[in-house]
Structure 1
């Protein structure tokens, strides 16, 4: 019984500490939003209802007094509160040229310039073909490694 009380006290302290952290982070977010030059198209997190989780330890944590009405919607994982979900609003610009679209895509999904694919085809079976990473050590003496293990 003492073990359960000790664990309950510990969990209560953890919840209280997490509530303080949430409030500190909210203040920091507010300060950053006021300084930020982010586009208005990005919306803040929106709370949505989630089904209650099943208790695994058999302990029930009593409801703590919440210091902020909004903080109750940010209850810790495993609770029956609400869960935050990002819902960004996407604004499509249709007046971009093809070059601008390619530059945007390349900037968002930039990869390594030293790694690229080469096409291969089977000499015996015309239906077998595909792409493999370009290997600078291919067909050189002393290179016994598979390409994905090779440092080149």
Structure 2
């Protein structure tokens, strides 16, 4: 396979492009404007913010360089954006190394990738705890 064809089949390339397009939409269409992206169904039904409430506003603020405002909107979303950037970078580097190794010699040995059950469980617990803490009087600072 040619390097150009390898690039077109690259998951990190398409994932990065999708992330860039989504980021451009959030950067241009301000979620601080009421109704710009609709209403959170959980918030509408219960009157309580979910773990994602304020996430679009936080991402918009990050894209405009206002980290303080982003943290005030949704600290969890800020952390997830950072983790997503790190994960995408690692994915892109591993894919590039694999492509370089394939071009220069025998096929490399691979290991199964993906998120472990433990990681998913810990992530789920963090989201639930973040949501519940947001609902307490002391956790009001975490509200959007």
Name the TM-score class by shorter chain. Answer: under 0.3
Report the TM-score when normalising by structure 2.
0.27
Higher relative contact order (CA 8 A, sep 6+): 2
Higher helix fraction (1 or 2): 2
Report the TM-score when normalising by structure 1.
0.26
